[in-house]
Chain A
Amino acid sequence: MDILARIQAASITAPCLAPQHHHKHLQQLCFPMSTGHHFSCFYMHQNHFPVAMPGHPCRIPSGSIRCQSGAVEAPEMQDVKFSKSMLSFDMGKDRLSKVPASQIRNFSIIAHIDHGKSTLADKLLQVTGTVSDREMKEQFLDNMDLERERGITIKLQAARMRYVAKDGEPYCLNLIDTPGHVDFSYEVSRSLAACEGALLVVDASQGVEAQTLANVYLALENNLEIIPVLNKIDLPGADPERVRNEIEEIVGLDCSEAIFCSAKEGIGIQEILESIVAKVPPPKDTSMNPLRALIFDSYYDPYRGVIVYFRVVDGSIKIHDKIQFMASGKEYEVDELGVLSPGQMQVNELFAGEVGYLAASIRSVADARVGDTITSSANKAGMALSGYQEAVPMVFCGLFPVDADQFGELREALEKLQLNDAALKYEPESSSAMGFGFRCGFLGLLHMEIVQERLEREYGLNLITTAPSVVYRVQCADNTVVECSNPCELPEPGKRVWIEEPFVNIEMITPKEYIGTLMELAQERRGEFKEMKYITESRASVIYILPLAEMVGDFFDQLKSRSKGYASMEYSLSGYRKSDLVRLDILINGEPMDPLAAIVHKDKAFAVGRALTQKLKELIPRQMFKIPIQVTIGTRVIASESISAMRKDVLAKCYGGDISRKKKLLKKQAEGKKRMKSVGRVEVPQDAFMAVLRLEKEVV
Chain B
Amino acid sequence: MGSYVTTLCKEITSTLSQLPQASPLKTLFFGGGTPSLLPPQYLSRIVDTLDQHCGFQCDAEISMEMDPGTFDKQTLKQFLGLGVNRVSLGVQSFNEDFLKACGRSHGLQDVYEALDIITGLNVSNWSLDLISSLPHQTLEHWEECLREAIGLSPAHVSVYDLQIEEGTKFGVWYKPGHHPLPDEDKSASFYRLASSLLREAGYEHYEISNYAKPGFQCRHNMVYWKNQPYYGFGLGATSYFNGKRFSRPRKLKGYADFVELCINQSSDNFSANEEYLSFYSNTVESVEDRVCDTIMLSLRLASGLNLNELSKNFGHELRVHICKSFLPFINSGHAVAVDSKFKTVPPDTFSTALSEQSASKVLKDVIFIRLTDPDGFLLSNEIISSLFTDLPIK
* Residue positions of A touching B, CB distance < 8 A: 622-625, 646-657, 659-660, 662-663, 665-667, 669-670, 672-674, 681
Contacts and interface: CB of A to CB of B under 8 A. Distances in A.
Contacts of A649: 378-382
Nearest to B163: A652
B99 interface: no
A591 to B, nearest CB: 15
14 contacts: A624-B332, A650-B379, A650-B380, A651-B380, A652-B160, A655-B31, A656-B232, A656-B240, A657-B232, A657-B247, A666-B381, A667-B388, A669-B385, A670-B386
Contacts of A662: 296
Nearest to B32: A657
A650 B377 CA distance: 7
A665 B166 CA distance: 15
A605 B382 CA distance: 36
Contacts of B247: 657, 660
B196 interface: no
Contacts of A650: 161, 191, 208, 377-381
A666 B289 CA distance: 12
A116 to B, nearest CB: 54
B224 A651 contact: no
Given A649-B382, A650-B208, A670 B191 contact: no
A652 B163 CA distance: 8
Interface stretch (B45-53, B111-119, B181-189, B304-312): B181-189
B161 A652 contact: yes
Contacts of B344: none
Contacts of B187: 647-648
Interface in B110-148: none
Contact of A657 (B161, B238, B296, B328): B238
A652 B162 CA distance: 9
B389 interface: yes
Contact of B230 (A648, A656, A670, A681): A656
A667 B386 CA distance: 9
Nearest to B245: A660
A623 B385 CA distance: 13
B293 interface: yes
Contacts of B188: 647-648
B160 A655 contact: no
A654 to B, nearest CB: 6
Given A659-B224, A673-B385, A653 B379 contact: no
Interface of B: 31-32, 159-161, 163, 184-185, 187-188, 191, 208-209, 221, 223-225, 230, 232, 236-240, 245, 247, 289, 292-293, 296-297, 300, 328-329, 332, 334, 377-382, 384-386, 388-389
B389 A673 contact: yes
Contact of B236 (A651, A653, A657, A673): A657
Given A624-B329, A654-B296, A660-B238, 14 more contacts: A622-B184, A624-B332, A624-B379, A647-B188, A651-B381, A655-B224, A656-B232, A656-B238, A659-B245, A659-B297, A662-B296, A670-B385, A670-B386, A673-B386
A648 B32 contact: no
A670 B389 contact: yes
Contacts of B184: 622, 646-648
Contacts of A659: 224, 238, 240, 245, 293, 296-297
Given A657-B247, A667-B292, A648 B378 contact: yes
Contacts of A667: 292, 385, 388
Contacts of A672: 385
A669 B380 CA distance: 12
A699 to B, nearest CB: 30
Contacts of A673: 385-386, 389
Contacts of B159: 652
Nearest to A622: B184
Given A647-B378, A663-B292, A667-B292, A653 B332 contact: no
A652 B208 contact: yes
A462 to B, nearest CB: 20
Contacts of A646: 184, 379, 382
Contacts of A663: 289, 292-293, 296
Nearest to B160: A652
Contacts of A655: 31, 221, 224
A625 B384 CA distance: 16
Contact of A654 (B31, B239, B300, B329): B300
A667 B382 CA distance: 11
Contacts of A665: 381
Contact of B388 (A622, A623, A653, A670): A670
A175 B31 CA distance: 83
Contacts of A652: 159-161, 163, 208-209
Contacts of B292: 663, 666-667
A247 to B, nearest CB: 61
A686 to B, nearest CB: 15
B97 to A, nearest CB: 21
A681 B327 CA distance: 13
B379 A654 contact: no
Contacts of A647: 184-185, 187-188, 378
A318 to B, nearest CB: 62
Nearest to B379: A649
Contacts of B221: 655
Nearest to A662: B296
Given A647-B184, A650-B379, A654-B297, A674 B389 contact: yes
A669 B245 contact: no
A179 to B, nearest CB: 48
A663 B160 CA distance: 19
Contacts of B245: 659-660
Nearest to B289: A663
Nearest to B387: A670
Nearest to B218: A655
Nearest to A670: B388
Nearest to B239: A656
A665 to B, nearest CB: 8
A536 B236 CA distance: 79
Contacts of B236: 657
A667 B377 CA distance: 18
B192 to A, nearest CB: 9
Contacts of B385: 666-667, 669-670, 672-673
A648 B163 contact: no
Contacts of A625: 332
B66 to A, nearest CB: 16
Contacts of A670: 385-386, 388-389
A622 B31 CA distance: 36
A623 B208 CA distance: 20
B332 A666 contact: no
Nearest to A647: B188
Contact of A653 (B160, B230, B237, B293): B160
A673 B221 CA distance: 30
Nearest to B224: A656
- Top-9 shortest CB links A-B: A670-B388, A669-B385, A647-B188, A648-B188, A652-B160, A649-B381, A670-B385, A670-B389, A657-B238
A625 B385 CA distance: 16
Nearest to A669: B385
Given A652-B208, A659-B238, A669 B381 contact: yes
Contacts of B225: 654
Contacts of B381: 649-651, 665-666, 669
A622 B183 CA distance: 14
B160 A654 contact: no
B214 to A, nearest CB: 22
Most buried by B among A651, A653, A674: A651
A647 B187 CA distance: 9
A681 B297 CA distance: 26
A653 B389 contact: no
A573 B159 CA distance: 69
A673 B389 CA distance: 7
B121 to A, nearest CB: 26
